[in-house]
Structures are given as structure tokens and as C-alpha cells.
Amino acid sequence: MNETDIPLWVEIIIAVLTLAGAALALLGAIGLLRLPTFFERIHAPAIIATLGCWCCMIGSLLFFSFQSGGLTLHPLLIALFIAITVPVTNIFLMRAALFRARQSGQKNVPPNISHVMPPGARDS
């Protein structure tokens, strides 16, 4: 492998992006622990930690691209996989939790809007 020296300004950008990504992932983990209900806790890692992943991905993309002397797109595949799977997983988790909360009779749950209305109920 042909190792080249990475310019200082690129190393600073890589360090800032990596530290920002780690700090955002930590903030998402703290939100996961601190927020009181499941429906509030699901947002912290989904949104904040995904942004942290993108920061780390851009930092590693810059590092490996400058180190090899060419464009390296492998980290982009990881970030795209996370960007596709995290929202789908969160939707399934939220729907399962909402179904379970409705089945147990919790009062703070939004009503089901997909049930069939009895005839005449829409006229009023």
C-alpha cells in the first residue's frame, strides 16, 4: 500500500468529524437512558446517533481517501445501510409498542384510526 502524508488541515477535519460523531452517538445513548417513556426514548438513538454515524463515515472516507491517494467509497456503503435500516426498524418498533400499549389498555396512547366506523357515525 502506498502511504502518503495526510495534510494537517485534513487531519484536523477528520479529528473534528470523528469526535463530533462520537459525541453525537454518546448523546443518543444518554437520551436512550434518560428519557422516561419508550416512545420518547426511541427518537434519541434513531435521529442523533444516525447523524453521529454520518460524521464518522465522512471522517473515515476522508482519511482512507487521502491515505490511499484515491476516492474510497467503502464507508459510504456502511452509512447508506444504516440510513436505510434505522428508519424501518424504528417504524416496526414503534408500531409494535403502540399495538402492545393499546392491547394493555394504556390511556396515554393515540387512538387507532384504521378501525371501521359504524354506519351513521360519519354523518354527525
Give tens-digit pLDDT for 7-60: 999 999 999 999 999 999 898 888 888 888 888 888 777 778 788 889 999 999
108, 39 Cβ separation under 8 angstroms: no
pLDDT for the residue 109:
78
The model's pTM? 0.73
> Which amino acid is present at 67?
Q
* Residue with grid cell 354523518, as numbered in its chain: 123
pLDDT reading at 112 higher than 80:
no
pLDDT reading at 67 higher than 80:
yes
Rounded to 10 degrees, what is the CA torsion of 73, 74, 80, 85?
A: 170
The more confidently predicted of residues 4 and 36 is 36
The more confidently predicted of residues 115 and 81 is 81
Nearby residues of 45 by Cβ (< 8 Å), 6 or more positions away? 28, 29, 31, 32
The region, left, alpha or beta by phi > 0 then psi within -120 to 50, assigned to residue 69 is left
* Residue with grid cell 403502540, as numbered in its chain: 98
